[in-house]
């Protein structure tokens, strides 16, 4: 949707962001969370982002609220990992394959280019050819696959890990 605005997330986006993510918890193996969070359950996650620095949360807003988001968050909690981030992107199921993912990641990586970020990582549950293609489009390279690392929907799933050099 070319008419949607890409902007930093605001507190009033939280219900829409929780709804988007909860859909994927309940209906897919894309995330390994097993129970939906709801708005209050996602509040601590939301508060982990800032208006500056390396941990950012951007939304696509089509005028009636958030319809997708991309973020860069802590890769691992130990201090030596501080200049590495994990990126995540989710789009409302009714707004996929419309270029929003590309627009969100473009804006996110423009911001991260100004920050002290050395590498970005993404874990993708397989199969997910759309997400793999999006990440490869942005220069992520496959670094390895954890086989049958998560169990959801009565089966085991592989997760492919991708890395993007930023500095």
- Whole-angstrom Cα distance, residue 2 to residue 101? 11
For residue 102, tell me if it sits in a domain.
Answer: yes
If one counts the domains in the chain, the total is 1
For residue 39, the domain's CATH number is 3.40.630.30
Q: Which domain holds residue 62?
A: 5-121
- pTM, rounded to two decimals: 0.94
DSSP secondary structure string for all residues of 79-95: GGGTTEEEEEEEE-GGG
Query: Cα dihedral angle (79, 141, 123, 68), rounded to 10 degrees?
Result: 100
- Looking at the domain assignment, is residue 28 inside a domain? yes
Within a domain: 163: no
CB contact set of 137 (below 8 Å; sequence gap of 6+): 102
Tens-digit pLDDT profile for residues 72-129? 999 999 999 999 999 999 999 887 777 899 999 999 999 999 999 999 999 999 999 9
Rounded to whole angstroms, the maximal C-alpha distance in the chain is 43
Instruction: Determine, yes or no, domain membership for 83.
Output: yes
Residues 27-40: tens digit of each pLDDT: 999 999 999 999 99
Question: Can you tell me the distance from the alpha carbon of 72 to that of 55, in angstroms, rounded to the nearest whole number?
Answer: 5
Q: Is residue 35 part of a domain?
A: yes
Query: Is 94 domain-assigned?
Result: yes
């Amino acid at each position: 949707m070319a008419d949607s605005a890409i902007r930093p997330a605001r507190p009033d986006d939280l219900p829409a962001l929780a709804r988007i993510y909860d859909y994927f918890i309940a209906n897919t193996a894309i995330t390994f969370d097993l129970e939906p969070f709801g708005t209050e359950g996602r509040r601590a996650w939301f508060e982990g982002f800032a208006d500056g620095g390396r941990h950012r949360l951007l939304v696509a807003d089509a005028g009636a609220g958030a319809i997708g988001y991309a973020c860069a968050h802590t890769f691992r909690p130990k201090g030596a990992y501080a200049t590495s981030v994990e990126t995540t992107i989710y789009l409302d199921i009714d707004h996929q394959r419309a270029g929003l993912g590309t627009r969100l990641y473009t804006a996110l990586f423009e911001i991260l280019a100004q920050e002290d970020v050395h590498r970005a990582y993404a874990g993708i549950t397989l199969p997910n050819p759309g997400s793999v293609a999006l990440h490869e489009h942005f220069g992520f390279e496959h670094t390895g696959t954890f086989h049958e690392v998560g169990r959801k929907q009565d089966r085991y799933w592989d997760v492919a890990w991708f890395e993007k050099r930023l500095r």
